[in-house]
Amino acid sequence: MLGIESGVRKMYKKIEKYFSKHVYVNSFAHLLIGVGVGILITNSFVNPHPLRYGLALVAIGVLIHFYAYFQEK
């Protein structure tokens, strides 16, 4: 278990280092995830395809986090 915990810490530090240099990318990624979660929670207000739109926004936000992880050395 300790190996996994230290790996998560390293991953978090790499993402944090990238986002500290690229503040607008950080804001955009978290905005997309927040809007996506909001759409998933309030699916009765966005009736046509809430699951598709919500999951798409969350997935894009997560992909931006992966991008940040692989860009920072």
How many alpha carbons fall within 13 Å on the CB side of residue 71?
15
Place of tokens 């992909």: 63
Kindly report the pTM of this predicted structure. 0.78
pLDDT band for 43, please (50, 70, 90 cuts).
confident
Two tokens, residue 43: 């699916």
Phi/psi class of residue 61: alpha, beta or left (left: φ > 0; alpha: ψ in -120 to 50)? alpha
Tell me: the pLDDT tens digits for 45-63? 656 667 788 889 999 999 9
Residue 15 has pLDDT above 90, yes or no: no
